[in-house]
A and B are shown apart, each in its own frame.
Chain A
Amino acid sequence: MGTVSLQKVNVIGLQKVDYKGNDSTLCAGCGHDSIASQIITAFYEMGIKPENVIKLSGIGCSSKSPAYFMNRAWGFNTLHGRMAAVATGALTANHHLIGIGVSGDGDTGSIGLGNFKHMVRRNVRMVYIIENNGVYGLTKGQFSATADVGQELKHAGRNELPPIDLCMEAITAECGFVARSFAGDPKQVVTLIKAALSHRGTAVIDIISPCVTFNNHDDSTKSYVWGKTNDDRINDFTYVPHQEEITVDYEEGEVKEVTLHDGSHILLKKVDSKHDPTDRAAAIKLLEEAREKQLFITGLLYVDNRRPNLAETLRLNGTPLVHVPAERLRPSRESLEKILNSMK
């Protein structure tokens, strides 16, 4: 008999639902959620077996994301800013696992900046996504280190400090895959994640992911305060307005102005085909120019596949360390006797 499945499956015979996670508990319209769906799409389309995947994060709204994709993969919601270290250990002990990490701009750019750069420097093979909203979402709206100079927030006031560009940090730490995207550009996000999954070492994707709740300054018509004073129903301090996700679709080389929920604007520019992503100096120049013009260049900024990853540096070419059987982990009785005799 047999029934013909009408469900679409990927190359390893899994359906997209097999890549699903729990329901999100983030604010409706949060950029982080759309990234989670693109992660699902990328892994599904790449035909990666979820059981071979570890998904890690630090602490923050962004870092909750691993719970919202691939329930059949092992998750580890680690410590604030410390996912890089945990991933380093996990992917060294079993270098056959496929690692994806999700972090926030506070998680990576402030508390975890040191560990992040050292993981990149070691070139641990993994996809490292930063869901960058320029604020601390989970602790309710403080500035993060990626906030723009002059940016204003309801509680935090005005940011007077220059932003840290995490793509620049990655490049100067010798990262071999550096990309930037926007959460509302599913096509680009999926394409970059897929490319990142094929990378030999650490692949960093900094994804601008607006916080619909805390990127709110008073004079913006879509701000939290505006809503509060203009809508009688809003008298609950913890009320979070329901927002629609912002999506964009634009072409290579095109500059796109995006209006965020709070009424502010960001400029996105897709790298055009003239940019040679294998040219490190060109990538740095591009980021410098973008910084001057206060726009975000999106796309693959830099790629270099030549540097060995950490597992290669450690010569872990064969069986993953965790699969070495016990009898090969304990040297012989004779070897111990020999050492002890030499200490007599």
Chain B
Amino acid sequence: MIASVQPSQQAGLHEETLASRSPVVNDFSIMVATKNGSGSQTANTTLLRALFKMGIPVSGKNLFPSNIQGMPTWYTIRANKNGFVARRPHAEIVVTLNPATALEDYQSVQSGGFFMYADDIKLPLSRSDISHYPIPVKKLATENEKEPKLRTYVANMVYVGALAQLLGIDLADIESALLFHFKGKRKPVESNMKVVRLAHEWAAENLIKTDPFRVERMNATEGLIMIDGNTAGALGAIYGGVTFAAWYPITPATGLADALNHFLPQLRTDPQTGAPTYAVVQAEDELAALGMVVGAGWVGARAMTSTSGPGISLMTEFTGLAYFAEVPAVIWDVQRVGPSTGMPTRVSQGDVLKVYFLGHGDTKHPCYIPGNVKECFEFGWRAFDLAERLQTPVFVLSDLDLGMNQWMSEPFDYPDQPMDRGKVLSAEDLKRLGGFARYRDVDGDGIGYRTLPGTDHPLAAYFARGTGHNERAQLSERPEDWENNMVRLARKFETARRLMPKPIAEYVEGAEVGIISYGSADPAVQEARAMLAEAGLKTSYLRLRALPLEQTTTEFIAAHRRCYVVELNSDAQMLQLLRLHAPEYATRLHAANHSDGLPLTAEWISTAVQAGEGSANRA
């Protein structure tokens, strides 16, 4: 075909052969490389939502640095007609505006894909297995934006327009994505659309498409929403009746508090009095954040905090206190990579063991583990019911990928149960009962009855403390009192085990291999199972949704010869808990853990399982 186009000349290559391939529709990954702080987020989420609006299953993941401006950042979008939205190890479509990473980006393009780049980036374009599209980003941005300060920002819209043209993304969908982004404000939408159109026209006139990738409208996203897990969790908390939240800024949990602050005023301002039915306090540190939550929970509020690993460390002592004084609290841990500050903008599931046993002495806590944004919402409201029912801190283990990235989802279900405020005695109850013993197990479920400060009865008060106490909440160092109390707390934990959401088990007829996983690893596991099935290996799947573990899990392990525990951490933390939970099957459990800061891929999981199966079969 046309040999005179500049890119093929530059590369001196066979783009004719590339162009003659049959089209690849709705099945590709895009990686956009920019500099942090250059405003590419708008462009990337616009592309993402435009594809979503065209009915194509998509996911978007921001792989960003811990930096405000200047360091390289990547955004990946995956479109897949079959609904697989896990991260891919390589993208077929790579766009780079960042000279600092351009070479690396160039080399990473999946064979058969294309490389779009700002034409002022000088690179040895040596690959013949991909298409090359240089874009005059500066020129188009300068033509369009008089204000030099805004040119880098506008430059991002150039690749949106060019990609839309090459892939066939409808400009109307780009526009409605921008409208979503700018919350319906026409003016910024117009100015961004101007650049998009300009770049679109330029691409139509100047680029010869030699790659096979394009999009076609489908209806796989009809009725779905797209949202991040932090916003979903915050909405869950609001519909769960959160009355008090205290927090301290930390990536990747900040978005949760931001979303509370965004939605609470509109949803929870009392229409009669105009007063808020909530309070949000930005604390001076995470110690204080959980301390405030414990104070609020003690007097009867639905209180929560959200943080990440380093904040969890600071919350350790208060978690122990709340556990032992039996104060309800909801704590979100949006996990990032440690140890230490680690990679604060990268994902992991590395707090499992730490959080489960957080405290000092003998402590353990119920933990919800949402595997998708819908569960972030659901567990967001259920956590309050559970915390008040059990009178204990309840954790929600989310992570950066789930919390900060955009996910497609079925719309969330409105809470189907009235709020459970747990065992609270009123003044009337006390009149009838003639007093109470705060820590007595009246019902055999390990949970005592509590009273709230302000209850108008002379026998209503009790003394909350972290020191040893008897059933009447009196200070006690008697060995029997201590042990009785710990035995009761163990009984209460058994009640927790019953109340937590069960894992989701999917048994496959004839499968000898099971995969056990949790949290944001789910999409990669689902896709890996399809890949394994294609390779002739049937797998069952158990997705854990909570700690403590229970019988469903034991049965699942028992039903398979080998189970691979897929998780995103270096110490195989859930595997350790599973072995403790089902020691009789410990040897059936195999590690398939990995942590490099990036979300898991199906390729990695399927390779790990196949490698495990290979050695199992050799053995």
Given the interface contacts A50-B461, A92-B281, does A336 sit within 8 Å of B239 by beta carbon? yes
What string of 1s and 0s marks CB contacts (under 8 Å) between A17-43 and chain B? 010000000000000000000000000
Partner of A77, one of B415, B452, B465: B465
A114 touches B285 (CB 8 A): yes
Q: Which of A47-62 contact B (CB under 8 A)?
A: 50-54, 56
Q: Does A75 contact B (CB under 8 A)?
A: yes
A78-B243 contact in complex given A97-B454, A326-B419, A344-B224, C-beta closer than 8 Å: no
> Nearest chain B CB to A165's CB is how many angstroms away?
21
Contact B241 A316 (CB under 8 A): no
Complex contact A326–B246 (CB within 8 A): no
Of B285, B321, B415, which is within 8 A of A78 by CB?
B321
Query: What is the distance, in angstroms, from B290's C-beta to the closest C-beta of chain A?
Result: 8
Q: Which residues of chain A (62-80) have a CB below 8 Å from chain B?
A: 66-67, 71-79
Query: Does B395 reach chain A (CB closer than 8 Å)?
Result: no
CB contact between A324 and one of B277, B296, B321, B454 (< 8 Å): that residue: B277
A residues near B462, Cβ cutoff 8 Å: 74-75
Is B279 in contact with A321, judged by CB distance below 8 angstroms?
yes
The reply to whether A118 and B295 contact each other, CB–CB distance below 8 Å, is no
Residues of B within 8 A of A118 (CB): 283-284, 288
| Alpha-carbon gap, A78 to B458, bound state (A) | 23
Verify B273–A318 contact, CB threshold 8 A: yes
- Cα distance A115–B246 in the bound complex, in angstroms: 14
- The A296-320 residues at the B interface (CB cut-off 8 A) are 310, 314-320
In the bound assembly, the distance between CA atoms of A317 and B276 in angstroms comes to: 9
Instruction: Tell me the smallest distance from the CB of B13 to a CB of chain A, in Å.
Output: 43
Measured in the bound complex, the distance between the Cα atoms of B525 and A275 in whole Å is: 74
B225 beta carbon closer than 8 Å to chain A: yes
Alpha-carbon distance A74/B464, docked complex (angstroms): 8
A335 at the interface (CB under 8 A from B): yes
Q: Is the CB of B455 within 8 A of A51?
A: yes
The interface stretch among A82-90, A195-203, A247-255, A264-272 is A82-90
* B466 is an interface residue with CB less than 8 A from chain A: yes
Which residues 232-279 in B have Cβ within 8 Å of A in the complex?
A: 235, 238-244, 246, 263, 267-268, 270, 273, 275-279
Complex Cα gap A122–B303 (Å): 19
Complex Cα gap A315–B268 (Å): 13
User: In the complex, are the beta carbons of B284 and A77 less than 8 A apart?
Assistant: no
Tell me the minimal C-beta distance from B498 to chain A in angstroms: 24
Q: Given A93-B296, A94-B300, A324-B243, are A71 and B291 neighbors across the interface (CB < 8 Å)?
A: no
Set of chain A residues within 8 Å of B224, measured between Cβ atoms: 344
The reply to whether A90 and B284 form a contact with Cβ atoms under 8 Å apart is no
Whether, in the assembled complex, A322 has its beta carbon less than 8 Å from a beta carbon of chain B, the answer is yes
| Contact between chains at B275 and A318 (CB < 8 Å) | yes
- The listed residue (A66, A115, A330) touching B241 by CB distance below 8 A is A330
Question: A222 to B545, alpha carbons, bound, how many Å?
Answer: 64
CB distance from A4 to the nearest CB of B (A): 22
Shortest distance in angstroms between A88's beta carbon and chain B's nearest beta carbon? 5
Known contacts A316-B276, A321-B243; is A74 also within 8 Å of B225 by CB? no
Q: Residue A89 contacts which of B239, B294, B461 (CB distance < 8 angstroms)?
A: B294
User: How far is the CB of A211 from the nearest CB of chain B, in Å?
Assistant: 21
| Interface residues in chain A, defined as those with a beta carbon under 8 Å from any beta carbon in chain B | 18, 50-54, 56, 66-67, 71-79, 82, 84-94, 96-97, 114-115, 118, 122, 310, 314-322, 324, 326, 328-331, 333, 335-337, 339-340, 342-344
18 A-B interface contacts by CB (under 8 A):
A66-B463, A72-B458, A72-B461, A82-B318, A85-B287, A86-B292, A86-B294, A87-B295, A89-B294, A90-B453, A92-B296, A118-B284, A321-B277, A321-B301, A329-B277, A331-B268, A336-B414, A340-B225
Contact residues of B with A, CB < 8 Å? 180, 223-227, 235, 238-244, 246, 263, 267-268, 270, 273, 275-279, 281, 283-285, 287-303, 317-318, 321, 325, 411-412, 414-415, 418-419, 421, 451-458, 460-467, 475
17 A-B pairs besides A76-B465, A318-B275, A343-B227 with CB distance below 8 A are A53-B453, A67-B463, A73-B461, A75-B461, A77-B467, A79-B318, A79-B466, A85-B289, A92-B279, A94-B454, A97-B299, A114-B288, A314-B276, A318-B273, A329-B242, A329-B243, A329-B268
